[in-house]
A and B are shown apart, each in its own frame.
Chain A
Amino acid sequence: MTTLAIVNARLLDPASDYDGPGAVLIQDGRIARVIHGSAPDLTADETVDAAGLCLAPGLIDIRVKTGEPGAEPKETLKSASLAAAAGGVTTIVVQPDTEPAVDDPAMIDFIQRRGAALNLVNVRAAGAATKALDGQRMAEIGLMDEAGALYFTDGDRVITNSRTLQRVMSYAAAFNALIACRPADPWLTEGAVAASGELATRLGLSGSPAIAERIGLERDLALVEQTGARFLVDQISTEGALETLARARAKGLDVAVSVSINHLCFNEVDIGDYRTFYRLDPPLRTEADRQALIEAVREGLIDVITSAHAPAPAEDKRRPFAEAAPGAVGLETLLPAALSLHHQDGLDLLDVLRPLTHGPAALLGLDAGVLADGAPADLILFDPGAPVVIDADRLRSKSKNSPFDGRRLQGRVAATFVAGRKVFET
């Protein structure tokens, strides 16, 4: 029975709204005691003096793509785990759109076992909502749920067949399983590679209109209302969709919503003259949309911020814009990128951290994401003001497609603990 004390820290716990000095005592991988204010002398086998650094729950990233299984040159569970540890992410939820798709309990089991064997961060899995992500045949939601799948989604693919989605939602309700969908009208977004607007028109790129997201969301929410499913609106990106969501919540619908860090940090202008690292799905929107999303984070309307980690090797990105693979890596840059919302956009630190820790934990029913007695000792120590220059070549991900490459940000992870074990240290 070993104990570890972390003292002289600035504790940041969004779950209890505590931001102040304190210390934490860890025993057998769990938090044994959280002390607010000046700590009495803690007796422990090992003591870490945080010297005023922030101590917060480890980040929980619920939207991480890996290449494993099927496309290991892009990213393996190991390289993703290393990137996560370095980024202060203590739990990753792997997306099911691999090759083959994660659509049966054996695949869920494979990912979790492989992740556990790495002994780095917590590796969990989301299962496919439909078999082979075909949008037609319901996957084994019950068995995958039993095997440990945290939620069910067809990833970037919209389930266009409303009857299928209705059945998936209705069936999942029996297991109290969470269903996540990207809101988009597939006909309006067909072939789109950028946000509709003057810039896309000038560059000759097919645009995705903002209303496509709203239309998709209206449909999904209507089905939620009918089926009573637990639902996550995955990757909201427009102001219009936020309004739709607010109306649904006012009606009493219990729906969660996530946003990618990229959509909080960049806007459509960043694609510049065809910079493919900014080719994302959904595409980067207008500055007004970005500001509305930041405001939604400030007001607590956003439950989860994700890295939307989507590794793509150079050969998939060094193509003409419309032909380049969408997506960006983000595990390792998630914290400094999120802290820019504090430094540049004036958000309170706890408001920034909440959708990265307590928000996803509460949504997925994990006991992590809090600084509380008995919770897993998944923690990060970080310096929120330390300047960093992102160098994509030095990222631990196998793919280096970071839109933050070369950006100056603030916030450095000093150490990452998973179950009380240090898995990363600067």
Chain B
Amino acid sequence: MTQPHAVAEQTIHERLIPFPKAHFLAASDLNPFVTPRLLDLADAFVDFNRQSSKALDVLHGRTVVNLFFENSTRTSSSFEIAAKRLGADVVTMPVASSSVKKGETLIDTAVTLNAMKPDILVVRHSASGAAELLSQKVGCAVVNAGDGRHEHPTQALLDLLSMRRAFGDVTSLTVAICGDITHSRVARSNVALLQMMGARVRLIGPPTLVPGDADRWGCEVFHDMREGLQGCDVVMMLRLQLERMAGALVPSTREYFRFWGLDREKLAWAAPGVRVMHPGPMNRGVEIDSDVADDLSVSLIQDQVEMGVAARMAVLASLAQREDAR
């Protein structure tokens, strides 16, 4: 009798596809044909990850370097676990606290790392475009794990995976992205990917936190939660970066919560069966009420963390597959 573990592994190998681009820098590196197949692959990884034995050899002998110029335990761990489960050798470089302080530039770091012949670089940096710049200077695949306020494409992919698993189909969904849109790379990647897959996207937030030209993104823009949430299937809350409070973008956390924080009352304005998402980490009582965040009948927040590992496994495996195909 075949073991369930073996079945999952076979499914994974059947679903492996080469990534459409040499790097994964932005949601636009995906396309409407390859994205569902990447999600299928990620689905197989979800099943695999739920088993007790989680060792694969898809990335056996490969070296994945996590290069996090910005601290992020959650994303860094997610990538590290994903790569390790695929059998890669993983190195997490503590660049946030070392080489940058010595005055080494991003390019210097890239050139040094490149000489060590990694296969995949996972990069997070506080400057928009940093991942793209690195991709021009190294010989391996680069995955953007968040660059400034530009993009965070694996987050969009895992969010899409979470939605597809919850609803089955994303093309008919209306998704509201709420909060600090201006400074959010999560919002930019999600808008691009959700629209690519046919979903309707709304942006909701105070005028100081929504770019003035966001209407040109093809989204509907709302500054009122009651109007914006009407008929929404998914409400994606964004973290309010509290340090921005000093910039007087919003007057206080309590006022922000009153008008744009998600609680039961506001959630009731959305469509029946609505699900709530948040890329984390959450400011409870600022952008989201614990009562909503912890209610597993509406919240997909824990699912997103689980899907994060699977989606990143799908991306890393596909990038390696592309290299193999060349």
Contact = CB atoms under 8 A, between A and B. Distances in A.
A129 B239 CA distance: 44
B245 interface: no
Given A201-B211, A201-B214, A204-B185, A273 B132 contact: yes
A205 interface: yes
Contacts of B211: 201
Contacts of B182: 201
Nearest to B188: A204
B188 A320 contact: no
Nearest to B213: A198
Given A319-B107, A320-B133, A204 B213 contact: no
Contacts of B128: 203-205, 274, 320-322
Contacts of B185: 204
A323 interface: yes
A201 B133 contact: no
A315 interface: yes
A202 interface: yes
B105 A319 contact: yes
A273 B105 contact: no
Contacts of B132: 273-274
A365 B36 CA distance: 70
Please tell me the size bucket of the interface on A: 10 to 19
Given A203-B150, A204-B149, A197 B127 contact: no
Contacts of B133: 274, 318-320
Contact of B148 (A202, A273, A318, A322): A322
Contacts, number: 60
Contact of A273 (B129, B149, B216): B129
Nearest to B137: A318
Interface string B97-111: 000000001110000
Contacts of A320: 106, 125, 127-130, 133, 147-148
Contacts of A197: 213
Nearest to B149: A204
Please tell me the size bucket of the interface on B: 20 to 34
Contacts of B151: 204
A199 to B, nearest CB: 9
Contacts of B217: 202
B83 to A, nearest CB: 24
B188 A274 contact: no
B129 A321 contact: yes
Interface string B109-138: 000000000000000010111101100000
Contact of B150 (A198, A204, A323): A204
A197 B147 CA distance: 19
B59 to A, nearest CB: 28
B105 A322 contact: no
Nearest to B129: A274
Contacts of B106: 319-320, 323
Nearest to B69: A320
B49 to A, nearest CB: 31
Interface string B233-248: 0000000000000000
A404 to B, nearest CB: 21
A318 B148 CA distance: 17
Nearest to B134: A320
A212 to B, nearest CB: 14
A334 B148 CA distance: 35
B213 A321 contact: no
A191 to B, nearest CB: 10
A207 to B, nearest CB: 9
B213 A323 contact: no
Contacts of A204: 128-129, 147-151, 185, 188
- Report the 8 A-B pairs with minimum CB-CB distance, sorted nearest first: A204-B150, A320-B127, A274-B129, A204-B128, A204-B149, A320-B130, A201-B211, A198-B213
15 contacts: A196-B212, A197-B213, A201-B214, A203-B129, A204-B147, A204-B151, A204-B185, A273-B129, A273-B132, A274-B133, A315-B107, A318-B107, A320-B106, A320-B130, A322-B128
Interface of B: 105-107, 125, 127-130, 132-133, 147-151, 182, 185, 188, 211-214, 216-217
Given A205-B128, A318-B105, 14 more contacts: A198-B216, A201-B211, A201-B213, A202-B188, A204-B129, A204-B148, A205-B150, A274-B132, A274-B133, A315-B105, A315-B107, A318-B107, A319-B106, A323-B127
